[in-house]
Structure 1
Amino acid sequence: MKPVDYDKALYYTHRSQWDNLLILMVRTKDDFLSKKIEHFLHAYNFENDYTVIENNLYSLLRYIDHASEFDADEFEEQTVSIT
């Protein structure tokens, strides 16, 4: 998976660039990231209860944190095995 997708998702979420986040949702190969973005954007646009929006946002952010940490560990293992 491209770690750049997680960086982009975090950046677009932080800057409230929902159009770019939607494009990333469609283009990413990470199905979980795509689904988390979809749930957040749906809640943001259609939900009246702010706690639901907040829960979806935190769920997206937790996944980005988890996935980017996993990718960093994988990259480190590949670097060590090459040398």
Structure 2
Amino acid sequence: MNKLDYDRALFYTHRSEWDNLLILMVRTTDQFLSKKIEHFLHAYNFERDYSVIETKLYSLLRYIDHANETFEQSPNEIPMYSLS
């Protein structure tokens, strides 16, 4: 997994850069991210009900947030807590 993919997905979504989001969908190695992007872009282009588009967008954003929170820290970073 590449944390940069999640940052790019968030940036492209925020800026409404759908072409770049589509390219990211094809190039990322994270299959869940790719599928979330695919579902959102399909809803954005073909769905007439705005609530469906909104649901797909929030699903994509929740996944990006979850992936960023669970991403492994680099060894040089100080952990927020320690179990020992």
Question: TM-score, normalized by length of structure 1?
Answer: 0.89
Long gaps (5+) in structure 2 = 78-84
Aligned residue pair count = 77
* Structure 1 CA distance for aligned equivalents of residues 18 and 50 of structure 2: 17
* Larger gyration radius, structure 1 or structure 2: 2
1:27 aligned residue = 27
- Aligned-pair Cα RMSD in Å: 1.0
Share of identical aligned residues, percent? 74
1:14 aligned residue = 14
Question: Are 1:75 and 2:73 counterparts?
Answer: yes
2:80 aligned residue = none
Stretches (4+) displaced over 6 A: none
Long gaps (5+) in structure 1 = none
Question: TM-score, normalized by length of structure 2?
Answer: 0.88
2:2 aligned residue = 2
| CA-CA distance at 1:75 after TM superposition | 1.4
